[in-house]
Amino acid sequence: MNRRCPHCGKQNRIPPKHLADVGRCGACKQRLPPLDEPLEVDVLAFDDITRNSRVPVLVDFWAPWCGPCKMAAPEVAAAARNLAGTAVVLKVNSDDHPQLSARFGVRSIPNFAVLVNGQLAWQQAGLLRHAELEAAVKGAM
């Protein structure tokens, strides 16, 4: 995964298992904070992150045409900020990656899942607030 340094703007390659860790920018050597925003992923990135993450992974299955998904987006972003360093938050566009939705039996969106060590630990459909998403992640730890 590539992440931009908030200090110098240079791209840094971060292995999936270190997305929740604090690091250092390879260019300016400043602190590179843990991922604190939802990360839009494809199937390959999803599998790589969920297999290798040392922290729980919260997944938001959504679609651009879905009104409740649009309402959930700020809640998912707030959860990502609050869970930075303790979880990774992924977004999966169900229209672009139907095979992932099928893998998790997603029949309605938004749909949220928590994976721990690559295994499904919790899943729920419907609009949820960030506190509920955070509680689901903490409960799965």
- Whether the per-residue pLDDT at 1 is higher than 90: the answer is no
CA 30 vs. chain centroid, Å, equals 24
Of 5, 25, 28, 69, the catalytic one is 69
Give tens-digit pLDDT for 10-29: 999 999 999 999 999 999 99
Of 5, 25, 28, 66, the catalytic one is 66
Give tens-digit pLDDT for 29-87: 999 999 999 999 999 999 999 999 999 999 999 999 999 999 999 999 999 999 999 99
Q: What does CATH list as the number for 36-140?
A: 3.40.30.10
Q: Which two tokens stand for residue 25?
A: 């920018």
Give tens-digit pLDDT for 97-132: 999 999 999 999 999 999 999 999 999 999 999 999
The DSSP line for 27-65 is TT--EEPPP-S-EE--HHHHHHHHHH-SS-EEEEEE-TT
Specify whether 25 is catalytic: no
pTM: 0.94
What residue spans define the domains of the chain? Answer: 36-140
Give tens-digit pLDDT for 84-97: 999 999 999 999 99
Specify whether 5 is catalytic: no
- Whether the per-residue pLDDT at 141 is higher than 90: the answer is no
